Amino acid sequence: MFKKILVPTDFSSYAHKMQECLAQMPGIEEVVLLNVVDASNPMNLERKGWSYDSLIDEAQTRLAEQAGYLSHLVEKGLSVKQSLKIIVEPMSGADGVDMKRLKPDSSLSLIEGGSIGEAIIKTAIDEKVSLICMGAQGKGLIEGMLLGSVSTEVLRKGQTDLLIIRHKIIEGSRDKQLEGFCRDIFSRVLLTTDFSQAGQEAISAIKDLAGVKEILLVNVIAREEEFEEAAKRLNQLREELKGLGGKITIHVLMGHAAREIITLAEKQDVSLIMMGSQGKSWSRQIRVGSTTFDVARQAKSPVLVIRTVPL
């Protein structure tokens, strides 16, 4: 299903660890490895001793290193494209600093203003990738933080399916060593549904995923009298998905949707939570619903968000 994916990296240990998950994803043919550098304030860069030349040289070197690492991790035949984008401002700094720019080339493009998240979203569209795969955190890793600012922006504003990988910080680790969470990522999938038309994308998507061994079908109800109807519809859906093979169980939960989904995911030790970006309250103005947003922010397991196609 996901043949061409975009992998943003900030060269942090979190991003590096996240790439190990790609080896567990079947069917990948091409990876666009992206680094976005915010060089929009020349004055701050100069104070740190950076020039555009040194900034670009450093980024290109590290991109090449990670591309080699990524190619080694995943089976032979994988194509890895390196992409470097530099966010700049069209005007010089207030103190007259004006760093000389390089002309864009095949591996580098200059972006006039904007944020790192916006650059990631635009790259996904330009490259026509089917998935963005990124870590929940980056260089600013803070223990207890639910989701980094860049990941949050891509989740809120993006149009492309998004896989968010979260790693646990090993307890007692002084240098915040990370514990992986990538064993057979599609093997035990918790699939949520509210039976709405907007939420059908995740149901359709799982039919095309390779490597799924077990599916937990989940619907969260608000009132007890909704139980029978929910169970009936989940059983119908289970029959529809039987052709995938493997074990399929149904779970009707009651209460706060995001909290119940996260609790079940932890209790059942799922390898992935898969859900549509929208639900019954789908709106063109909002790219991700509140339940999906809360689950993506708080879940300890990877979360795959399937974007709703505009009606």
Render pLDDT for 268-308 as a digit per residue (tens, 0 to 9): 999 999 999 886 655 554 568 889 999 999 998 899 999 98
Residue 278 lies in a domain: yes
Residue 292 lies in a domain: yes
Q: Rounded CA gap, 59 and 1, in Å? A: 31
Looking up residue 242, the CATH number of its domain turns out to be: 3.40.50.620
Residue type for 107, please? S
**What's the pLDDT tens digit per position in 2-47?**
899 999 998 887 777 777 777 777 788 899 999 998 877 766 666 6
125: which strand partners?
none
d(CA 132, CA 151): 10
Do 18 and 153 reside in the same domain of the chain? yes
Helix (H), strand (E) at residue 268: helix 257-268
Give a yes or no: residue 311 inside a domain.
Answer: no
Contact predicate 272/279, CB 8 Å:
no
Beta strands in 131-180 (DSSP E): 131-135, 162-165, 168-169, 178-179
Is residue 309 situated within a structural domain?
Answer: no
> Same domain, yes or no, for 92 and 221?
no
Asked whether residue 149 is domain-assigned, the answer is yes
pLDDT(158) > 60: yes
132/222 same-domain check: no
Domain boundary at 152, 179, 206, which? 179
Task: Specify whether 102 is located in the same domain as 215.
Answer: no
What total number of domains does the chain contain?
2
Choose the final residue of a domain: 179, 199, 226.
179
Q: Which domain-ending residue is among 153, 179, 205?
A: 179
